[in-house]
Structures are given as structure tokens and as C-alpha cells.
């Protein structure tokens, strides 16, 4: 998506500078070239060597470097880029930018820049909230400087609040939007997430341990790439992903109804842990514990299979139907069986045995199972599983006729 784009990355001082190393790696993965400028503050947190190794380019640090001025010049640094990204953007560097100071390489090239600039601020909450910083930010935004973040959360200084640098994936998504629209623009996607709850009576239900982390991450990743995403979610505590239409349901039947209503879509990803059975003798009133009576019998009836139903939609079938398989034994064989039985195109098989921590955890180890292949993915964050899946969807849709 960023093929051939030239990014000039300014890394200023702040603990978040370590995240800029990941940013460099991911920008290059997407085809961008990255040239880096390290401020003296930035160099306290990451070394020029690591920045050079990841970017594959010389790192620029000094305004008055004879060689650099002879070979490159601070003006050409920005002339030979399509976008300047300042990540992290410290309060100090933003103040210099707003005031038009040019007393080091970073501030000088920013003053000389005639290309878009994106800042990802990172600082202590009080510094962020200070009227001086907010005035500087307002000045920069009035001049057309774009901003991503900061986010709220635990800060390196031990305080909690706004000031964390935006996550790398969000910075990447913003960079992509600066260059136009994501590769999934115009594509409608449906994602299911979380558990379903099947009532026993108005008070009790049968549920499962799904947190919605994996499904919500998939919805967020598809939205970041420009897709128009509907997320049908069972009861979860996850925040709504940005830019995603969220429909909340409780039971499998409600989930199926919401999914059918969301059609047509080009791609459907069923990450929800849908209850296979519903309680056919659920009562309208709370069941009473009668002393001396035997415990009540709960009768189960099969729920509709949402993944299979989406795969059987004839001309309204999504071009790509993807399921997950939650297994505790013979993971791949079972996933392959589900792929065939449910008629979907891909299955992401994951082991959900308690020791794996897959349910509710932040990491996942999946195998991508297709008709002809089984591809093991390493243990990575659920956000990265989602990101990787989203890019695979981009590639597959290019090859699938409309
Ligand atoms: O939510 P997290 O805590 O992040 O955990 C993530 C996860 C483990 C829930 C997720 O990665 C996952 O594996 N989701 C699928 C869970 C599941 O129901 O697997 P299954 O093997 O029982 O079902 C196979 C597929 O059929 C799934 O895509 C499921 O959504 C779908 N299905 C199942 C039953 C049903 N009645 N309708 C369905 O659509």
C-alpha cells in the first residue's frame, strides 16, 4: 500500500522512541522507504545503529555535519520525501515547530518542509494539557500539520492519562490515509466477535470465555485498511473499534439475524464463539430452587450455524468467507473438517486449551487452513493476527472476481 512512498521519520526525545523502531520496520514491510532524523533527545532513547539497521539508510543527526551538508543538505532531506512523520513528537519539538525555530536539524528541516507533516505527540499528561502545548498544537493544526494521538493510558513516568504515543498500527493507518485511501476502500466487510449467551431463564445463561479481543481486532484492522465494516458482537467488554459500525446481540439467533441483515458484503470473518446449542426449555420466569425437588433438566437444541449459512448464500455469498476454529485437540484436522462442512474459504485454527491463554489473552497462535494448504503463523499479538489476516484479504480480493 505504501509502495514507493518516501517517509522522512523524525524521532525526537521520549521513551516512546522505541516504538519508532517498529514503525520503521512496518513502513518498510509495506513498501515505503524510510530515512530517519534522530534528535539529540531521541538519541538518548534509541541508538543511531538500530535506526540505521532497521531503515537500511544512513541516520541524520547533525545540522552542521560537513559531509551531510555537502552530500545531502537539510533542505534536500525534506525535498526528497513524500511525508514527514514526527514520532514521537516531544513537547519541545512541537514548540519549536510552532515558533518557527531552526536551531537543530529536525526543527530546520521541518521549517523548510513543503510536504505534509504528521506528528504523533508523546509526553507526560500535564505537559500535554498545558496551555502552551495546546496553543502550539492549535497553531500547527491551523497550518495543516496532521496529528495522530496521543492516547490515554499508563505513562512511562508512572502517571496515568493522555500522553502515550498512538499505537504504531494507528500511525500506519493515518499515514495511509494521508496518501489516499486504504486498499479496502469501497469493500464492505462483516465480522462477528465475542461469545453468544443462550438464556436458561431471565437470570441465567449458557455462555463461553470469548472476550471479543480477536474479533474486534479483525474489525479494526479491516477498517484501518479502508473497509466499510459491520461488527456483530456478542456481550463483551471491548471498546468499539474506531470507524466500525457495531451491532450488539446476545444469542446466536440474534447474531445470525444481524449478519443476514448486513449482507451484501465482500468479505465475512466469523471470529465469534457462537453457542452450538440453545436452551429449548428456557423459562420466562426465574427458575426456582424448590427444596426437595431434583435439579431442573436443561434441554438443548441446535443453533443455526452462521458461518455455514453465510457460505450458502448463493449469489449473495460474500466473495470470501472466513471462519475461526477453536479446538483443544487435533487442531488442524478438526479445522480442515470444519472448512469442508461449513463451506467457507479459509479457517484460522487456534488451540483454545486453557494453557494457551487464547481465550481472553492478547496473543494467539493460528494456522491458516485453506483447501490446499495449512500455513502456520507464529505466536503473535491478536492485533497482529488481525493485521496479517487483513492484508491476506486484500491480496485474495484482488484475485477473486466480483
Ligand atoms: O474472543 P477472544 O477471547 O479474543 O478469543 C478468540 C477466539 C478463540 C474466540 C477466536 O479466535 C475463535 O477461535 N473464534 C471461533 C470460536 C468458535 O466458535 O469456534 P468453533 O470451532 O466452535 O466454530 C467454527 C466456526 O464456526 C467459527 O468461525 C464460529 O464463529 C462459527 N460458528 C460456530 C457455531 C455456530 N453456531 N455458528 C457459527 O458461525
Place of cell 520525501: 81
Q: Whose Cα sits closest to atom 31 in ligand 1?
A: 307
Active site residue 157: yes
Which domains, and CATH codes, for the chain? 6-178 (3.40.50.1950), 188-399 (3.40.50.10300)
CA of 249 to the centre of ligand 1 (A): 15
The answer to whether the predicted template modeling score (pTM) of the entire model surpasses 0.85 is no
Ligand 1 atom showing the smallest separation from residue 303 Cα: 36
Asked if residues 228 and 243 have their Cβ atoms less than 8 Å apart, the reply is no
- How many H helices and E strands in the chain? 14, 22
Judge if the upstream peptide bond of residue 287 is cis by omega within 30 degrees of 0. no
Residue that has been written with the C-alpha cell 431434583 in this structure: 294
Q: How far is the CA of 188 from the centre of ligand 1 (A)?
A: 21
pLDDT score of 291: 86
In the reported structure, the alpha carbon of residue 307 is separated from the centroid of ligand 1 by a whole-number distance in angstroms of 9
Tell whether omega for the bond before 150 is within 30 degrees of 0, i.e. cis. Answer: yes
Q: What is the mean pLDDT for each group of 10 consecutive residues in the chain (402 residues)? A: 92 95 96 96 97 96 74 78 96 98 95 93 94 95 89 77 90 85 88 98 98 96 90 96 91 98 97 98 94 92 98 96 98 98 98 97 96 94 92 89 66
Q: What is the pLDDT of residue 66?
A: 62
Q: How far apart are CA 203 and CA 10, in angstroms?
A: 56
What pLDDT was estimated at residue 108? Answer: 94
Give the binding-site residues of ligand 1, using a 6 Å CB cut-off. Answer: 192, 210-215, 252, 270-274, 276, 303, 305-307, 323-326, 338, 350, 352, 358-360, 382
77: buried, middle or exposed (CB in 10 Å: 19+, 13-18, 0-12)?
A: buried
CB 227 within 8 A of CB 188: yes
Q: What is the pLDDT, as a whole number, of residue 144?
A: 85
Tell me the CA–centroid distance for residue 299 and ligand 1, in Å.
22
Please tell me the residue having the least CA distance from ligand 1 atom 10.
271
Best residue among 195, 196, 210 to mutate for probing ligand 1's pocket (most ligand atoms within 8 Å of CB) is 210
Amino acid at each position: 500500500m505504501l509502495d514507493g512512498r518516501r517517509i522522512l521519520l523524525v524521532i525526537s526525545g521520549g521513551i516512546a522512541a522505541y516504538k519508532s523502531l517498529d514503525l520503521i520496520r512496518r513502513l518498510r514491510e509495506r513498501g515505503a522507504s524510510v530515512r530517519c532524523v534522530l534528535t539529540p533527545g531521541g538519541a538518548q532513547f534509541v541508538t543511531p545503529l538500530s535506526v540505521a539497521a532497521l531503515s537500511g539508510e544512513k541516520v541524520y543527526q547533525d545540522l552542521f555535519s560537513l559531509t551531510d551538508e555537502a552530500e545531502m543538505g537539510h533542505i534536500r532531506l525534506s525535498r526528497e520525501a513524500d511525508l514527514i512523520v514526527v514520532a514521537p513528537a516531544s513537547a519541545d519539538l512541537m514548540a519549536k515547530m510552532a515558533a518557527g525555530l531552526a536551531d537543530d536539524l529536525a526543527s530546520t528541516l521541518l521549517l523548510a518542509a513543503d510536504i505534509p507533516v504528521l506528528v504523533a505527540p508523546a509526553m507526560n499528561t500535564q505537559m500535554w494539557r498545558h496551555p502552551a502545548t495546546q496553543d502550539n498544537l492549535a497553531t500547527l493544526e491551523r497550518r495543516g500539520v496532521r496529528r495522530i494521538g496521543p492516547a490515554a493510558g499508563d505513562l512511562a513516568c508512572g502517571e496515568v492519562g493522555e500522553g502515550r504515543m498512538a499505537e504504531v498500527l494507528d500511525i500506519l493507518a493515518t499515514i495511509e490515509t494521508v496518501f489516499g485511501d486504504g486498499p479496502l476502500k469501497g469493500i464492505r466487510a462483516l465480522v462477528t466477535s465475542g461469545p453468544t449467551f443462550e438464556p436458561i431463564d431471565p437470570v441465567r445463561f449458557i455462555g463461553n470465555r470469548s472476550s471479543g479481543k480477536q474479533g474486534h481486532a479483525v474489525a479494526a484492522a479491516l477498517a484501518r485498511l479502508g473497509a466499510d465494516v459491520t461488527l456483530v458482537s456478542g456481550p463483551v467488554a471491548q471498546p468499539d473499534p474506531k470507524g466500525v459500525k457495531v451491532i450488539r446481540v446476545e444469542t446466536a439467533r440474534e447474531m445470525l439475524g444481524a449478519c443476514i441483515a448486513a449482507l451484501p458484503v465482500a468479505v465475512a470473518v466469523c471470529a465469534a464463539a457462537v453457542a452450538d446449542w440453545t436452551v429449548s426449555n428456557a423459562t420466562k420466569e426465574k427458575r426456582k430452587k424448590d427444596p426437595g425437588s431434583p435439579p431442573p433438566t436443561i434441554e438443548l437444541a441446535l443453533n443455526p450455524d452462521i458461518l455455514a449459512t453465510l457460505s450458502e448464500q448463493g449469489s449473495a455469498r460474500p466473495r470470501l468467507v472466513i471462519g475461526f476454529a477453536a479446538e483443544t485437540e487435533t487442531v488442524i484436522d478438526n479445522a480442515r473438517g470444519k472448512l469442508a462442512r461449513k463451506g467457507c474459504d479459509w479457517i484460522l485454527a487456534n488451540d483454545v486449551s486453557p494453557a494457551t491463554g487464547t481465550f481472553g489473552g492478547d496473543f494467539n497462535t493460528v494456522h491458516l487452513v485453506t483447501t490446499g494448504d495449512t500455513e502456520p503463523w507464529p505466536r503473535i499479538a491478536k492485533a497482529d493476527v488481525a493485521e496479517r489476516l487483513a492484508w491476506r484479504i486484500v491480496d485474495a480480493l484482488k484475485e477473486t472476481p466480483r
